[in-house]
Copies of this chain bind each other. A is one copy, B any other.
Amino acid sequence: MDQQQLFVKMAVDGWDQQIKFTNDTLDKISDEQLLSEISPGKNRGIYLLGHLVAVHDLMLPLLRFEEAAYPELVQPFIKSPDKTVADLPSVSLLKEQWNAVNEKLSAHIKSLPTADWFTRHNSVSEEDFAKEPHRNRLNVLMGRTSHLANHRGQIVLLVPKA
């Protein structure tokens, strides 16, 4: 395993681990419980789940894998705060989309050639990337790993006491 392969493995393992932790957490929370606030006056579980689906969906074009599948989630779950949008998708639909988007990402992640991880992501120009080579696709994955960990730490508050 060369240096690039090793580093990609480290970053992808970190991503996979946070996805697993989050799914293990979601498995312990009912759809109804996800309608609760994580703490009084704070975001509801459904909002955090929708936010994660929307952000992961946008990783598909950002990583230059494919087009986003759920652009309709950007307005209610990224641009708007919780409890300001009347009609949200159901928790069960969001859970389906959550699994679908992560499966798509996983398939792309597993098949991307190692060297391609160190090419630019879609929000940086060729010109800027030449000066800032850290703005690559693997760095997006690493940033989104922390983003997921951040919100997983919140969703876990909805797990009922054993």
Q: Which residues of A approach B to under 8 Å, CB–CB? A: 1, 3-4, 6-7, 9-11, 13-14, 17-18, 38-42, 118, 133-134, 136, 138-139, 142-143, 145-147, 149-154, 157, 161
Contacts and interface: CB of A to CB of B under 8 A. Distances in A.
A18 B10 CA distance: 18
A13 B142 CA distance: 10
Contacts of A150: 149-150, 152-153
A35 B136 CA distance: 41
B18 A146 contact: yes
Contacts of A154: 153-154, 157
Given A3-B3, A142-B142, A152-B153, 6 more contacts: A6-B133, A10-B134, A39-B39, A147-B149, A153-B153, A154-B154
Count of chain copies:
2
Nearest to A48: B153
A157 B14 contact: no
15 contacts: A3-B3, A3-B7, A6-B118, A10-B136, A10-B139, A13-B134, A14-B143, A14-B146, A18-B146, A41-B161, A42-B157, A145-B146, A146-B146, A153-B153, A154-B154
Contacts of A138: 10
